[in-house]
Amino acid sequence: MFPRMGYHAATVDDILKEAGVARSTFYTYFANKREIYTETVRVTIDWVVEALTLGVDSIIARFDVPEGAWPQDVELENAIAALMSEVYKYLAENAGMAQIFLNELVGIDDEMTAFFLDFESRLTDQFERLVKFGTKIGLIRQLDERSAAEFIVCGLIHLGWKVSAGQHAGEIEDVSKRFVALHLRGLLNRAAFDVLTRAG
């Protein structure tokens, strides 16, 4: 009901009718519409953050090498692109809630705006970990790692909005590869850039 009608227009009665449950059942679990909305958004947020956290953990474990011995092929880039594809496929499959989350959350009120900003910060934490890891293994040039992560997350959220709106259907893996190539290669040191560019 939230994706179909929007947060403000959807009522508890609409939700009860759609779910086919009694009012008493609803109020056993939720105090009001706001609580069920918050919970549905939280499910989306938690899935995305957990997927990214586990993915970043896996990438760091897989590609951790002695300082200066960074991977000399596109495997790291492909691993990050595969992680992005997983997230975007989830957003495409749950487009209704993703649209509500990306379109309506900011501006409902101060609490919901803070909720979104916290989500953005949690995403940025994970990408900062990736940028720091790339710097540690000599792949990424010296830069302000938090700022780099924030710019990546801005692009990630914008592309997520487009995917949830039905754009890039059937080409999520290709779009993810292009997204990662654009962002990662902009952060590389010159030697790593030359190697990855030659590799494709």
Task: Tell me the residue type at 196.
Answer: L
27 falls within a domain: no
In a domain, 72, yes or no: yes
Rounded to 5°, angle at Cα 128 from 126 and 129: 65
**What digits encode the pLDDT tens for the residues 67-85?**
656 555 568 888 899 999 9
Spell out the alpha helix ranges (H) of 64-94: 75-93
**Range scoring the smallest mean pLDDT among 35-49, 58-72, 173-187:** 58-72
**Which structural domain range is residue 126 located in?**
37-199
Percent of the chain scoring above 70 in pLDDT: 86
Bigger pLDDT: 109 vs 49: 49
Q: Is residue 115 part of a domain?
A: yes
Are 16 and 108 a contacting pair, CB within 8 Å? Answer: no
Give the residue from 195, 196, 194, 190 showing the smallest Cα distance to 177: 196
Q: Is residue 32 part of a domain?
A: no
- In this model, does residue 29 exceed pLDDT 60? yes
- Please tell me the predicted confidence (pLDDT) of residue 106: 66
End-to-end CA gap in the chain: 45
- Considering the domain boundaries, does residue 14 fall inside one? no
Domain count, the chain: 1
Average pLDDT over residues 24-40: 91
Beta-carbon contacts of 56 under 8 Å, excluding residues fewer than 6 positions away, are 83, 126, 127, 129, 130
The answer as to whether 68 is a domain residue is yes
CB 61 within 8 A of CB 137: no
DSSP 140: B
Buried b (16+ CB within 10 A) or exposed e, 43-79: ebbeebbeebeebbeebbeebeeeeeebbeebebbeb
CATH number, position 72: 1.10.357.10
Q: Is 60 among the domain residues?
A: yes
Let me know if residue 17 belongs to a domain: no
Under DSSP, is residue 188 helix (H, G, I), strand (E, B) or coil? strand
Residue 182 pLDDT exceeds 90? no
